[in-house]
Structure 1
Amino acid sequence: MFVRELHLRDFRSWTQVDLELAPGPVIITGRNGFGKTNLLEALFYLSTMRSHRVSSDAPLVRSSRSSAMVTVTVENAGRELTAALQINAEGANKAWLNTAPQRRPRDLLGVLRTVLFAPEDLLLVRGDPGDRRRFVDELVAQRGPRLAAARSDYDKVLRQRSALLKTAGAALRRGGSDADSVISTLDVWDSQLADLGGQVTAARIDVLAELQPHFAASYSAIAPHSRPATLRYRASVGDEILPPAGETANVEAIATTLLSRLGEIRTKEIERGLSLVGPHRDDVDLVLGDDIAKGFASHGESWSLALALRLGTVELARAEGVEPVIMLDDVFAELDAARRRKLAEFTAGAEQLLITAAVADDIPEGIGGCRIGVVMLDEDGVRRSVLRTDTPDDPGESADTSDLSDSSDRITP
């Protein structure tokens, strides 16, 4: 699988860019803040329907614009698909596949599979549970729209239920019909939350079980003298929902357990005005030997674990018969020489490898491919990213418009 064309309109710092790409490595250089990462972010968004940097869509749309367009042509085993996504600063996004309108943007999931390595990956080890939940949900989402829909619907029900819990206490104190209405409505939301929560949790458990051997092998290759690394799903409803080794998760059993738990803690939830159990409260433990890595692993071990998660993700996709587009967003600058070498060796066989770097010297020797320079123009106080056809020795030097591609910023490496 590889991206043959990327077209952006009003996406972050890019007013317009048209990139024609080919298999193999592509190295994108430019100073920090010039817009390199925005190119990878656009591809990642189309493959997962979320940004790896922000939680809402508004920051993705260029200032003073109401929407951004991301259009990607993907070639996979001789088959070509063009996916287009209109990202709106407000309101629902719109999607097209080969110019045909799609009912929902998530219907594009599966067209492009990516694995993105970024400096933020360290949060997968040292960050909050939400960082690890997002990682697992991204794995699930790339498997297709049905599983992504369950998480989206769960979030909607969770918001409605949480809003009801905030007002439930006062209604129950008033008693009468208000109390009866709250209880009956809460029963409905509990049932829906448990049903969707069972689907979300089961999908997470299963994808982590499939990832585990690839993660363990990757970590062992990166840190051969360290203790073995494992992944463990930690459910807020308890470990009894976890299936025996080698078996898939039971959606119905998880939903039943979650519904029972919601009934047990209803009073507590009403008192606090919060939904206290469910996949939105779960976590993933990265374990070294017998110890949870967060708060225990050294800086080097943490980076090795983060790399192993991403390398394992690549192998997981390959096991499913997909060669994902691998994107390295300025990560070589964060790694020591040994980890740089391991990452370069692992990604050498990628069908398409997209790399960003602020300094060209950060790229390990032996990685060839074409090079693209990114600079920032400032026109009457309005800044915009542009491509240049001659990549300077210093990727941060000022732009000279005579060296830039034409007004549409089209470049063919």
Structure 2
Amino acid sequence: MYLEHLSLTDFRSYAQVDLTLTPGVTVLVGSNGLGKTNLVEAIGYLSTLSSHRVSNDGPLLRFGTERALVRAQLVRGGQKVMVEVEINATRANRARINRANPVRARDILGICRTVLFAPEDLALVKGDPGNRRRFLDDLLVVLLPKHAGTRSDYDRVLKQRNALLKSARSQHFSRSGVSESHLSTLDVWDEHLAIVAATLLEARLELLNRLRPHMAEAYAQLTDGSKLLHAIYRSSLNDPQKHDGASPDMDGSPEVGVPAKIEEGEDLSLCTVEVLTAKYRAELLASRTRELERGMSLVGPHRDELDLLLGQAPARGYASHGESWSIALALRLASFHVLDEDKHVAGNQPILILDDVFAELDAQRRTKLAGMVTAAEQVLVTAAVGEDIPAELAGATVQVVPGGVVLAEVPDE
């Protein structure tokens, strides 16, 4: 698959911009602050309906406007498809496919597949657990769009359940007891949470099993191969910290330091959704007193962690800056290969986007990365100066100028 044409209206810094692209490598060159990343951010948004830079849609609208429009002409297996999304400030976003009647925005998921690597991805290694959970969930949505509903359902149930726990906690402090009404309602939300949590957990575990070999191979290719990259999924169902009084971080995750040793626990990937649902029911019941005392949900995928290991040591806290960059790249390259292996739709290889990556890499890693990505049908690269791009990635060059773009160079046939 490749992107043939991109049109933006009132998106970020652009009142209007049109960009025509071809298969192969295209380098977007321009000084910092001119909008290179805005272009690739828009393409990534079509893939996940979220930005890799901000947590909500507000900043995506050009200042002073009420809506933004992102439209893309894609070529998949010889067939063309037009997809567009309208991002609104005051109402739900809408989308269109081939200029048909508007549909829900999430109905376009799975049409435009992208894998985007950006400097923000260092947070996948050095940041809080929420960054790694989002990495898995965003990839799930691209691979299997039905899980956009799973994630939305989980967020809704969790929000309702947390509101109930907070209310019950307030009642406990004011009246020295939790009402039967709260407890019976909590039983209902426990069941909802157990079902949707099990679905989300099974999907994450299956995805991680597909990612692991590609992660290890990509990291070995980017480095000298002396250290093995591995990932362990640590669930709140078998987390040894869950009963030791560890305090949560801002998003409800266990507080993560640098553990002396990471235990894998039970292999939950061997469990069916039904078994996982039963495990969540039991754990929610066992944790009820603690949850009522804290006024928040302490069990569920929102509490889980993806531990990244270099050899036996956790990457978070032990990996050097260069190793952290290589780990983040390996995660994105693994994502590309997992999507490429998915053959449900002909010609559906993802578009690979490298946003301001090469400036942060040494010469050796630049060359290795360039050699690993040239097989992709379409590679979009941004850079402040063309000299940052390895010769192996020679291709079309687009100059990003204030408010627009200029096709500066087209490779010889």
TM-score interval for Structure 1 and Structure 2 normalised by the shorter chain: 0.7 to 0.9
Aligned-partner Cα distance in 2 for 1:96–1:225: 46
Within 5 A, what are the aligned runs for 1:303-382? 303-321=325-343, 322-376=348-402
How many residues end up aligned between the 2 structures?
380
CA displacement, residues 362-395 of structure 1 (integer Å, 9 cap, x when unaligned): 111232221111122xxxxxxxx2223458xxxx
Residue 161 in structure 1 maps to residue 161 in structure 2? yes
Distance 1:107 1:142 in 2: 12
- 8 Å CA contact 1:109–1:143 kept in 2: the answer is no
Could you tell me which residue of structure 1 aligns to residue 54 of structure 2? Answer: 54
> Do residues 278 (structure 1) and 306 (structure 2) align?
no
Matched, 1:112 2:118: no
Amino acid in the other structure paired with 2:391: E
List per-residue Cα deviations over 1:344-373 (Å, max 9, x = no partner).
101112111111101111111232221111
Query: How far is the alpha carbon of 1:340 from its aligned partner?
Result: 0.4
- Secondary structure of 1:55's aligned partner: coil
Give per-residue Cα distances to partners, 1:167-188, cap 9 Å, x unaligned.
1123346669981221122111
What's the offset of the Cα at 1:232?
Answer: 1.1
Inter-CA distance 23–389: structure 2 relative to 1 (3 Å threshold): closer
Q: Which amino acid aligns with 1:375?
A: V
- Which amino acid in 2 is paired with 1:329? D
Residue in structure 1 matching 2:275, options 253, 257, 262 = 253
**1:282-324 deviation digits (Å, cap 9, x = unpaired):** 1111111112111011222212211111111111122223421
CA distance in 1, matches of 2:368, 2:381: 15
Residue 404 of structure 1 is matched in structure 2 by none
Partner of 1:145: 145
| Shift, 1:217, TM fit | 1.0
Change in 2 beyond 3 A, CA 1:368/1:91: same
Cα 1:250–1:241 change in 2 (3 A) is: farther
Q: Any unmatched runs of 5+ in structure 2?
A: 239-263
Distance 1:270 1:354, change over 3 A: same
Distance 1:241 1:203, change over 3 A: farther
Check conservation: 2:168, 2:178, Cα contact below 8 A.
no
Partner of 2:4: 4
**SS of match in other structure, 2:137:** helix
Question: Which residue does 2:267 correspond to in 1?
Answer: 242
Structure-2 change in CA distance of 1:276 and 1:302 (3 Å): same
RMSD (Å) for aligned C-alpha atoms: 1.9
Moved over 4 A (4+): 172-178
Of the three residues 293, 300, 303, the one matched with 2:315 is 293
Amino acid in the other structure paired with 2:87 = I
- In the TM superposition, what are the counterparts of 1:169-180 in structure 2 within 5 Å? 169-172=169-172, 179-180=179-180
Show structure 1 runs of 5+ residues with no match: 377-384, 392-413
Judge conservation of contact 2:19–2:405 (CA < 8 Å) in 1.
no
Q: Which residue of 1 aligns with 2:252?
A: none
2:169 touches 2:294 (CA, 8 Å); kept in 1? no
Q: Give the TM-score normalised by the residue count of structure 2.
A: 0.88
SS at match of 1:133: helix
> CA 1:298 to 1:318, structure 2 compared with 1: closer, same or farther past 3 Å?
same
| 1:167 partner letter | S
1:89-238 pair list within 5 angstroms: 89-101=89-101, 103-172=103-172, 179-238=179-238
Q: Following the alignment from structure 1 to structure 2, what is the Cα–Cα distance between the partners of residues 361 and 94?
A: 40
Contact kept? 2:172, 2:178, Cα under 8 Å: yes
In structure 2, the partner of 1:265 is: 287
- C-alpha distance in structure 2 between counterparts of 1:242 and 1:94, whole Å: 40
Query: What SS does the corresponding residue of 1:111 show, helix, strand or coil?
Result: coil
Comparing 205-214 with 172-181, greater Cα deviation is found at 172-181
Deviation per residue, 1:261-300 (Å, 9 max, x gap): 1111122212222111211111111111112111011222
Aligned to 2:405: 387
Q: Percent identity?
A: 47
